[in-house]
Structure 1
Amino acid sequence: MAMMKMRITGSEDNVRAISNLLQSLDGIEHVEEIADLMPHMDDPDSSSAGLSDVSGPDMHEIEVDVPNPATGRKVRQAVEALAFDLDVLVEFEQDDS
């Protein structure tokens, strides 16, 4: 089973909608949001701390187990269509293995 990873730039509600879509697709058994392990290097003493243009939209990473390439294509097409409707940015990570 191959692992498909995607990064989503959007709100928690948008990520939840994409996760729900993924879990509803035939052949998909595992969908997991990966925790953000990178520390954010915001300086609380900075003159730009807390400004709205400094904090961008939330980024989330999701892992999906896909059983075969055909299901992977179906997942990608479905997520791209929903992301377009939600006005969300989705980036798919290519699996080199």
Structure 2
Amino acid sequence: MPRIQLRITGDRDVFDDVINALHGIDGIERVEEIDDFMNDFRDDSSSQNLSDDMSSKTYTVEVESPRGKLERVREVAEETAGSREAAIEFVDPDENEI
């Protein structure tokens, strides 16, 4: 089953909204939050933990869906995150899975 990972930068409410929207897509097999152990690591420690950096956090979700649904997953996630002004990044699935 093809998988795709999404990284969402925003607050927890935005991330939860995206997960709920993805659960609403017919045929989705699995939507699961993935722990990102590098989330709090910064290359530039001079600005680490400044108030500007602490308002948003990056969350990762992995979605497993039939081949024909991956584009719909992207559309729904992008629309939901974008409406809440959160950044979203798509980590492409393995080339063999598309």
Q: Normalized against structure 1, the TM-score is what?
A: 0.81
Over the matched positions of the two proteins, sequence identity in percent amounts to 37
Alpha-carbon distance between aligned partners in 2 of 1:25 and 1:41, rounded to the nearest angstrom = 33
**Structure 1 moving runs of 4+ over 4 Å:** 46-50
Q: Which runs of 5+ in 2 are unaligned?
A: none
**Match of residue 60 from structure 2:** 61
Q: Which runs of 5+ in 1 are unaligned?
A: none
Alpha-carbon distance between aligned partners in 2 of 1:47 and 1:7, rounded to the nearest angstrom = 24
Shift in Å, 1:38: 2.4
Is residue 29 of structure 2 the alignment partner of residue 23 of structure 1? no
Alpha-carbon distance between aligned partners in 2 of 1:83 and 1:49, rounded to the nearest angstrom = 25
**Match of residue 5 from structure 1:** 5
Deviation by residue 1:21-80 (Cα, 9 ceiling, x = unmatched): 0111101121001012227458xxx88664313435100000000111x20011111111
Q: How many residues align?
A: 93
Q: 1:14 to 1:54 in 2, by over 3 A?
A: closer
Instruction: After TM superposition, list the pairs within 5 Å mapping 1:9-88 onto structure 2.
Output: 9-38=9-38, 40-41=40-41, 50-55=49-54, 57-68=56-67, 70-88=68-86
SS in structure 2 at match of 1:55: coil
| Matched residue type, 2:79 | A
What is the CA RMSD across the aligned residues, in angstroms? 2.2
